[in-house]
Amino acid sequence: MSDPFFEPYDRDDIAYGEKPSGSLAAYLNQVKGGGKALDLGAGAGRDSIALAIAGYQVLAVDLSARGLERIAQRAERAGVLKRVETLASDVRKIDLPPNTYDAIVATTVLDHIPLADSQALWKRMTEALTDRGVLYVQVHTTEDPGSDQLPGRLSDAPVSETAAEVINYFSPNQLASWAADPDRRLRILRYEERLEWDYTHGPEHLHGKAVLLAVRSGLFPNWYGQPAAFPKQE
Ligand SMILES: C[S@@+](CC[C@H](N)C(=O)[O-])C[C@H]1O[C@@H](n2cnc3c(N)ncnc32)[C@H](O)[C@@H]1O
């Protein structure tokens, strides 16, 4: 099977960069990590490596063999190779036993699969979270200029060269409403819908994104927001 992400992950100046996703990094800075983490659609591993450095034992899953190779390289360089396992698999096919992962990350993968599959995976992911679990999810929205829906389809901003891989653009509030469903047993720490420019692969382009940071309902970690609002002074 050809890998549409081979070239973005093959280059020195790697796609999506070295820095982990912002809200995930803010959470890892503030709340002590540890336990098992799952990074779905891990790509070249910017979030997997941050999770490993924060003390998690990480399983990074992606279809891109080149991405997984780069994750192993980066983990070695960061001195966390023992804490990162890679798995070449379709995220829809992985085993997700309930109450197993203390952190689950899905940075732009629920939008790379059809809506029905995305809903089924969302249900299994949220069930796989432990009672001390944190969930970080990012998806492309209909604000993205690659979307065939409003308002994105009216945008004249440049579209990502990998936009064809995004097949399920989320509508306004959709991810928030999934997270607020009481059956999912989540408490939202942060949610936003925003635009962002991407300079990390191909010609510069615009994205519309929805970003969710949530924990299990009933969990109250020492989270002061992003940026941290009024943390305790040392
Ligand atoms: C936009 S990239 C994001 C990569 C990474 N999460 C990041 O933010 O740096 C999307 C990733 O999802 C992977 N992907 C797409 N569909 C997938 C599927 N069904 N199963 C596993 N991985 C998938 C792609 O190979 C790609 O690496």
Q: What per-residue confidence (pLDDT) applies to 176?
A: 98
148 pLDDT above the threshold of 90: yes
Characterize the bridge pairing of strands 84-88 and 56-62.
parallel
Phi, psi at residue 101, to the nearest 5°?
-110, 135
Q: How confident is the model at residue 234 (pLDDT cuts 50, 70, 90)?
A: confident
Q: For a ligand 1 pocket test, name from 1, 63, 196 the mutation site with the most ligand atoms within 8 angstroms of its C-beta.
A: 63
**Which pLDDT tens digit goes with each residue over 154-203?**
999 999 999 999 999 999 999 999 999 999 999 999 999 999 999 999 89
- Token look-up 């940071």 returns 213
1 pLDDT above the threshold of 90: no
Protein residues whose CB sits closer than 6 Å to any atom of ligand 1: 5, 16, 41-43, 46, 61-64, 67, 90-92, 107-109, 112-113
Domains of the chain, with CATH numbers? 6-133+160-191 (3.40.50.150)
**Closest atom of ligand 1 to CA, residue 106:** 6
**Lowest mean pLDDT segment, chosen from 8-12, 115-119, 186-190, 210-214:** 8-12
Q: What is the mean pLDDT of the chain?
A: 96
